[in-house]
Amino acid sequence: MSETTGLDRALTYLRGEKPDKMPIWLESVYLAWKYSGTPTLKEYVHDPKAIALGHINVAERFRVDITGVNTDQWVMYEVLGAEVEILDHVVQAKIPPWRYRPDHKVYEMFSEKVERIEANLKEFDPRRCRRAQAIFEAWEIVAEKIGRRVLLRQGILGPAATLALTIGMTEVMRDVMIFPDLMGTLTKMVRGPLMDWTVDVAFKMVEAVDFTNFCMGFSGYDRSLLNPELRRWLAELDLEYLKKVRERIGGDVPITTHVCSWDPDLDFIYENFGRPRLVNELQFYAPGSTYPLERAVERFGGKIPLCAGIDHLGPLFTGTEDEVEAMVKHSIELGRKCVSFALGPGCGLSPNTPEQNLLKIAEVRDKCGRYR
Amino acid sequence: MEAGRVYELAMEFKPFEVENEVKRLLSLGVDAEQILDQLRRAMMDACDRYGGEFALPQLSAVMASFSMGYELLKDKIRKTGKGRILMGTLGSMHYIGKDIIKVLYIADGFDVKDLGENLMAENFIKGIREFNPHLVGISAFLTNAIFELQEIIGFLERNNLRKRVKVIIGGVQGNPHVAERFHLDGWAHDPRRALELANRLVSEAARA
């Protein structure tokens, strides 16, 4: 009998069934860079072979079942005008000039650009920019080399987040309170051409990983980040987006999730996206966030697969091997109460995470996290 | 002359109107301290409502009013001598959390120096040498540069400054594990806690 692969394990988990053992999800842009052997980050993010090699090395070294291949949050948005700076240790958005002083003109100019998207979607293909082209090539390489053994979670946030990440996330959140007409303008842009653009990019990403999954980001559903009214506004748009993505990718492709949030409104996410079975799992950040894993297991564990249990900023990053072992064992015990459970951190790992702590996850999982 | 309208406008998320009102009041000879009191009240109230009625958008909008109003007042107000706080973001460009706390500290009467973003240990060390703070508030979002904390604490220890310069962390990396691992004096995730921590630690540092 052939051995169960990480991909089989992950897909079984996403169906809400129990595989041979609990799958492990881990990924890290910067750990992958470290394992690629590429001297500078600037070279790395432009080199598809290096990006692929780094991610493959991390996946194999730490025996993960689920991973993702990324360089940063803005790579798809450069074609829309997002600007990044690549420092020695980080790729990040440039601080916009409207940081201290809100400027309505920014939205007027972006609205004009969005109208051009409607006229010519091809002009705004992210692959026209070098870094996005590199990441698409990296996905193809990784999918070919390990895609039959490991699930590659790839996705793009919804159209509202597309707009916010292009203009400036914190500035957009501030400015909707300051300019009374802005919500209407944003809704029009997001429901129109920006929706089509984001769905199109989502489809291209899913295609690049052989239709194994689409990962939907829900990090905006954070109680400290958005008040209930804005959360409802975002959910309406994301629901529309998710349904359109589903139409494009087909009904069989599982939808994974990502909730990198310190104060997640998991109940809201479940009610809006989990209960209607629009997504196949709830991945979130616990332990370490304000939503304890115990509570999530109690509320949703019997209803939808959960991925959590590794505190990537706590024991995994700063603790000892014994502390990591205790954390993983505790999470496995909780995970047994779920329809299915995957071990995973809240977000991407630090490149400084001790290697022995990372190796410990699979070791403890193999020992204690078997279903049969 | 009543400056209360400044408070109302700030709480209605109208920074441009705040700016115009501050200019108008100053032109009428209203004391800058009196105007600042209203901006301070708005910022404190916004922080009190954070986590309930307010989330980040509302808090940022009130902060914009404070910042735009304060810009017109800062050269006209007296220093309170409450204590010096050095702030900055370690290793990345994330600034919203740091800026909110900075404004809160200014509003509470601290003398604040903001070193900005994308900082490494050497920037904080230079800032400590030049500004002689009672408290260093480090905002850290990414883990990529987190080991720079060792150098900052090491510098303070080597120079016998550890007792009279307190160090706290905020942002996503502000958690008890990181605070303990790097021997920091505290951590905070929300504005109120950051303010309470600063008041307690600056008093301790001033007594050391």
Q: pLDDT tens across A173-186, in order?
A: 999 999 999 999 99
Residue B207 predicted with pLDDT over 60: yes
Its CATH class, for the domain covering B84-207, is: alpha beta
Q: At what angle do helices A169-178 and A159-167 cross, to 10 degrees?
A: 100
- Using a CB-CB cut-off of 8 Å, the residues of chain A touching B61 are 174, 177-178
CA angle A41, B143, A61 (to 5 degrees): 70
ipTM passes above 0.85 = yes
Q: Is B120 on the interface with A (CB under 8 A)?
A: no
Residue B179 predicted with pLDDT over 60: yes
Lowest mean pLDDT among A4-18, A141-155, A230-244, B78-92: B78-92
Element (H, E) at B167: strand B166-170
C-beta atoms of B55 and A174 within 8 A: no
- Using a CB-CB cut-off of 8 Å, the residues of chain B touching A173 are 56-57, 60
- Using a CB-CB cut-off of 8 Å, the residues of chain B touching A350 are 142-144, 146
Structure tokens at A186: 């944003």
Q: pLDDT tens, B34-61?
A: 999 999 999 999 999 998 899 999 999 9
Three-state secondary structure along B85-115? EEEEEECCCCCHHHHHHHHHHHHCCCEEEEC
Neighbour count for residue A352 (Cβ, 10 Å): 15
Residue B191 predicted with pLDDT over 80: yes
Q: Which residue of B has its CA nearest to A224?
A: B55
C-beta atoms of A174 and B64 within 8 A: yes
Average of per-residue pLDDT values in chain A: 95
Among candidates A243, A239, A311, A298, which has minimal Cα distance to A266? A298
Query: What percentage of chain A carries pLDDT values higher than 90?
Result: 92
- Using a CB-CB cut-off of 8 Å, the residues of chain B touching A315 are 177
Q: pLDDT tens, A297-309?
A: 999 999 999 999 9
C-beta atoms of B93 and A85 within 8 A: yes
Once rounded to an integer, what is the mean pLDDT over residues A286-292? Answer: 91
Once rounded to an integer, what is the mean pLDDT over residues B105-131? Answer: 95
Q: How far apart are CA B3 and CA A42, in angstroms?
A: 52
CA B44 to chain A, closest CA, distance in angstroms equals: 17
Residue B1 predicted with pLDDT over 70: no
What is the reported pTM?
Answer: 0.93
State the amino acid at position A40 in one-letter form.
T
- pLDDT at position A1: 56
Dihedral sign from CA coordinates of B96, B97, B103, B106? negative
For chain A, report the end-to-end CA distance as a whole number of angstroms: 15
Residue B173's pLDDT band (cuts 50, 70, 90): confident
C-beta atoms of B181 and A230 within 8 A: no
Question: Which segments within chain A are labelled E, that is strand?
Answer: 66-67, 84-86, 91-93, 151-152, 214-217, 255-258, 282-283, 306-309, 341-344
Domain boundaries, chain B: 4-76, 84-207
Its CATH class, for the domain covering B4-76, is: mainly alpha
Domains recognised in chain A with CATH numbers = 6-368 (3.20.20.210)
Residue A113 predicted with pLDDT over 80: yes
C-beta atoms of B58 and A177 within 8 A: yes
Q: pLDDT tens, A226-260?
A: 999 999 999 999 999 999 999 999 999 999 999 98
State the amino acid at position A312 in one-letter form.
H
Q: pLDDT tens, A19-55?
A: 999 999 999 999 999 999 999 999 999 999 999 999 9
- Using a CB-CB cut-off of 8 Å, the residues of chain A touching B68 are 100-101
Q: Is B80 on the interface with A (CB under 8 A)?
A: no
Q: Evaluate whether B4-76 and B84-207 have a shared fold.
A: no
Among candidates A349, A360, A315, A258, which has minimal Cα distance to A31? A349
- pLDDT at position B52: 87
A22 touches A332 (CB < 8 A): yes
Q: Which residue of A has its CA nearest to B53?
A: A227
Once rounded to an integer, what is the mean pLDDT over residues A134-149? Answer: 96
- Using a CB-CB cut-off of 8 Å, the residues of chain B touching A177 are 13, 57-58, 60-61
A218 touches A176 (CB < 8 A): no
Query: What percentage of chain B carries pLDDT values higher than 70?
Result: 100
Q: pLDDT tens, A181-220?
A: 999 999 999 999 999 999 999 999 999 999 999 999 999 9
